Amino acid sequence: MQNNASALQESVRRRSRAFSPKARHILYKSFTFLLVTLAFVIFYDWLCEGPVSGLFAMGKISRSVKGYFVPVCAWVVAAVSLNLVVGFSGELSLGHAGFMSIGYSTGIVVYNLLTKGYGWENIYLSMAVTMLAAGLMAGIIGFLVGIPVLRLRGDYLAIVTLACAEIIKSLLQCLYVSLDTTDGVRLLFAFPKNTLTGGTALLKGPTASAPIGTKGTTTDLPALYIIGFALVILTLFVVFNLTDSRTGRAIKSTRDNRIAAESMGIPVTRHKMIAFVTAAVLAGMAGALLANKSTYQPANFNLDMSIMVLVYVVLGGLGNVLGTIFSTTALYILPEELRFMKDYRMLVYALVLIFAMVLSNNPVIKGWVTSIVSLVKRRRKSINLFAEESRNAFAAGDDAQGANAREVLVIEDAGENETAVQPEAAEPDSNQAELPEEVPAEALAAQAGGRLTLERLYTADGTPLDDETQRRIELGLMLYEAYVDSGKGKKKGKKKGGGKA
Amino acid sequence: MDIMSVIINGLSIGSIYAIIALGYTMVYGIAKMLNFAHGDVIMVGAYTFFAAAHARNLNGPGGPFAAVLIAIVLCALLGMAIEFLAYRSLRQAPSLAVLITAIGVSYLLQNVMQTVMSLDGVDRFFKNVLGVVISENNDKPIFGADTKMITDLVNMQALDIHLSDTLTIPGLAIVTIAVNMLIVVLLSLFVNYTKMGKAMRSVSEDRSAAQLMGINVNRTITVTFAIGSGLAAIAGILYCAFPHELVPTTGSIPGIKAFIAAVIGGIGSIPGALIGGLLLGLVEQLSRSFLPVTELTDAVVYSVLIIVLLFRPTGLLGKKIHEKV
């Protein structure tokens, strides 16, 4: 009985939507791509002080604002990729900064090798190769890290990802790389102490390295911004395609119920690994993009940075890509621009984390939110609520909502008695599709009254139901049919109760 | 570096990790959540001790002991408050949500402490406006952005044992190890032989069954948080005495390492926390002394965790968990 009721509710819910879920999802994806592209066009134009900025009267761009564009792209990519792990595969990774630092270091080495060693001129080409290398390296490390990590679950997994990031950080703090071009192009490595002499130092252990993506001595910001935008689009493409694929559904199923997924034959570890490694690759690319600023050193890629990216994800919504893009942009730029936010940034982040989690997980507060939402939607949903009442009546009056359901039934009984039996019985006809939105219970019951009779129902142990209960069930079904007809005019065949109640 | 003194150092640092790990392991065992903020309770404990020991009325011979008591009580209250305000409403929530909240609480404590302790002139405010001198001498204000040390408050050189010309067992190490052993013994007795301890074990085993048997689950969890946080205060004082400087982020590193110690020992097990803590302390001190660069110490310490979990996924003394479908 309960199953029947929830199936009714589900079908009611589905019918009340303007778009099918699939169409909504496609709209959502296209909207995300469109928005990102639009933002890019406007801001690129502003960066180059082109015609559109005049159109929007955005004025001359300040030096500090210029500095935001590329890091924002990097953080968006980092946050969206972390969302892939936390939101879609449901495992908390506290080691995202570790993969970013891998990408960062690899990026510096490869970029300098290409430009200074082999004399590549084209920034797009060399950055593309750099990013590929950084992503590849981070992916390999991510795979190696994933082997022990993904065997664990929940809190253990979180703490081990944290441990792995710390290991990566302390290894990178001891890594020295320099480029020697005197006798052919050679890379010199030293670990754990700096024993290198000569050549250009690329990675200098715990201290900051030289920035990349430069043309001569100046940073080519517009080019880097284009590269950043391309990376964001690539990330969106990868994440959307992964989550919508068969693999993505498998990943989500392991998140929602690991045991059920496992018993359906889904290899859980392999799917978690796919999400984890994809996220690592994207994080590595984001790290390489960050390497255009000289303000980072290995010690910066610590737990704080992982937490910061996690805050972006949590505020944007677990599993919500567009939300993550918004929250990352806002949380990156606001603290930089607002003095107050800058001093108390971490304080605000902490409160964001706590409130986002408590508000979205506490059943009481969730109930408030739901009731506010339903207040707003009340007019549209009035008929839907009515269907819910009929469901309560249908589920018979002995449970918590019994009293309420009985009241509804009394009204309906009256209605039925008044209209008595009508000649055309059985099938409701399609004229009644034109019911107005707001139908009083009596009228609806009257219209439906007497039309629908079921064969005698039986309880599970085979005793026939008494007349009272039988009529309640019939009434519930009548009301539902009336609702269905009024909603879409789509007729559903008369529902025969399966004989067992 | 003499290997004996390294080992003694490792055992005493390990004892501190063990005390913190006990708090983690009890909370994890009973509330089934990773209290990420535990490390920051350590920091609050050390700050409270610092402030209390500097306060004017507590500079007699018994002052430091009173300050320790104040720190323990305040941290226990703080632990209960955190549990009540942040975690209680998330009892039924998925563990991801609880973990993220705990991270939030951890950062909140750090930043509130940062903001409060960097208020210059609080001492002056008390003195000039309220007419109360809170600090014992004006050279050392309690509040202010400067780095604080508590080494002069916890001076235990009187207890040093000179074994030979080169080998001395510092009094602080003796006290730390003794305190640790005492805590482990008392806690084991508490958990195994008292009514509340029995309640804790039953909540840990099956929360809903415990509730059906009439155990007040919420109160049990609150008591657990109080005990864990009180222990954190002791650990905080010992950790800063070692000496580590007292800043708002002081607690995060020992917090993480102690959690790792708890995981290595098998989370939920009191002897496991002791073994894990001592092992981690020893590994850390040995690698710090014998590796060519200090940056690699953390890599070794964290690798121990990964290696242990690879071979024993529930830790050295952890019980295998059978999952019910």
Residues A120 and A226 in one domain: yes
Give the position of tokens 């290991």: A167
Please give the pLDDT value at position A80.
95
DSSP A356: H
Is the CB of A20 inside 8 Å of chain B's CB atoms? Answer: no
Any domain includes A269: yes
Residues A125 and A210 in one domain: yes
Give the position of tokens 């990013």: A131
The residue from A268, A296, A313 where one domain ends is A313
Residues A115 and A245 in one domain: yes
Any domain includes A364: no
Strands (DSSP E) contained in B137-230 are 161-162, 168-169
Residues A275 and A386 in one domain: no
Token duo for residue A433? 């599709």
Residues A386 and A297 in one domain: no
Residue B295 and residue A174: Cβ atoms within 8 Å? yes
The residue from A266, A282, A313 where one domain ends is A313
Chain B residues with CB-CB distance to A193 below 8 A: 292-293
Token duo for residue B274? 């002791």
Residue B95 and residue A364: Cβ atoms within 8 Å? no
Token duo for residue A229? 């935008």
* Radius of gyration over every alpha carbon of chain A, rounded to an integer in angstroms: 31
Distance spanning both ends of chain A, measured CA to CA: 6
Q: Which residue of chain A comes nearest to B102, CA vs CA?
A: A354
Residue B96 and residue A90: Cβ atoms within 8 Å? yes
Best mutation target, A167, A352, A366, to test chain B (most B CBs within 10 A): A167
CB A247 within 8 A of CB A238: no
Any domain includes A361: no
Q: Which residue of chain A comes nearest to B91, CA vs CA?
A: A362
Any domain includes A32: no
Q: What is the pLDDT of residues B177-191, one digit of tens each?
A: 999 999 999 999 999
Residues A145 and A283 in one domain: yes
- Dihedral-angle region of residue A219 (phi above 0 means left; psi in -120 to 50 means alpha; beta otherwise): beta
Reduced to 3 states, what is the DSSP secondary structure of residue A32?
Answer: helix
Number of domains in chain A: 2
Any domain includes A64: no
Please give the pLDDT value at position A124.
87
Please give the pLDDT value at position A500.
40
Please give the pLDDT value at position A399.
45
Residues A307 and A396 in one domain: no
Give the position of tokens 């009929």: A390
Any domain includes A340: no
Crossing angle of helices B3-31 and B217-240, in 10° steps, is 160
Structural domain that includes position A82: 75-313
Chain A residues with CB-CB distance to B96 below 8 A: 86, 90, 92, 154, 318
Chain A residues with CB-CB distance to B37 below 8 A: none
- Chain A nearest CA to B89, separation (Å): 6
Omega before A192 cis (within 30°)? Answer: yes
Hey, which residues does B135 pair with through a beta bridge?
Answer: B55
Element containing residue A214 per DSSP (H, E): strand A214-215
Distance CA B192, CA B271 (A): 13
Residue B298 and residue A160: Cβ atoms within 8 Å? no
- Where do runs of H (alpha helix) occur along A150-174? 154-172
Rounded mean pLDDT for each run of 10 residues along chain A, 501 residues in total:
59 62 86 88 78 63 78 93 92 92 91 83 87 95 90 81 92 86 78 75 75 63 87 94 91 89 90 94 93 79 88 86 90 75 75 82 74 67 51 50 41 40 41 45 51 64 72 73 56 40 36
Q: What is the pLDDT of residues B186-211, one digit of tens each?
A: 999 999 999 999 999 999 888 889 99
Residues A201 and A287 in one domain: yes
Residues A307 and A393 in one domain: no
Residues A290 and A399 in one domain: no
Strands (DSSP E) contained in A406-456 are none
Residue B306 and residue A362: Cβ atoms within 8 Å? no
The residue from A313, A330, A360 where one domain ends is A313
Any domain includes A210: yes
* Dihedral, A38, A43, A48, A52 alpha carbons, nearest 10: 60
Residue A347 and residue B293: Cβ atoms within 8 Å? no
CB A177 within 8 A of CB A165: no
CB < 8 Å from A in window 218-277 of B: 252, 256, 259-260, 263
Where chain B has pLDDT below 70, the residues are 1, 56-60, 120-142, 144-146, 320-325
Q: Which residue of chain B comes nearest to A348, CA vs CA?
A: B108
Residue A167 and residue B323: Cβ atoms within 8 Å? no
CB A293 within 8 A of CB A286: no
Q: How many other CB atoms are there within 10 angstroms of residue A473's CB atom?
A: 21
Distance CA A223, CA B128 (A): 59
Please give the pLDDT value at position B227.
95
Q: What share of chain A is helix, strand, coil (3-state, %, to 5)?
A: 70, 5, 25
Residues A246 and A381 in one domain: no
Residues A166 and A270 in one domain: yes
Any domain includes A459: yes
| Closest-CA residue to B227 (of B61, B8, B30) | B30
Please give the distance of CA B70 from its chain centroid, rounded to a whole number. Answer: 16
CB B248 within 8 A of CB B114: yes
Q: What are the φ/ψ torsions at residue A500 (nearest 5 degrees)?
A: -120, 135
Chain A residues with CB-CB distance to B256 below 8 A: 159, 162, 303
Residues in CB range of A11: below 8 A, 6 or more apart = none
Distance CA A395, CA A4 (A): 9
Is the CB of B116 inside 8 Å of chain A's CB atoms? Answer: no
| Closest-CA residue to B316 (of B251, B271, B269, B264) | B264
Chain A residues with CB-CB distance to B309 below 8 A: 148, 152, 156, 160
Residue A90 and residue B302: Cβ atoms within 8 Å? no
- Chain A nearest CA to B99, separation (Å): 7
Hey, which residues does A184 pair with through a beta bridge?
Answer: A182
Residue B298 and residue A156: Cβ atoms within 8 Å? no
Is the CB of A192 inside 8 Å of chain B's CB atoms? Answer: yes
Residue A349 and residue B256: Cβ atoms within 8 Å? no
DSSP string for residues in B2-31 = -HHHHHHHHHHHHHHHHHHHHHHHHHHHHH
Please give the pLDDT value at position B56.
64
* Cα-Cα-Cα-Cα dihedral sign, residues A23, A29, A32, A37: negative
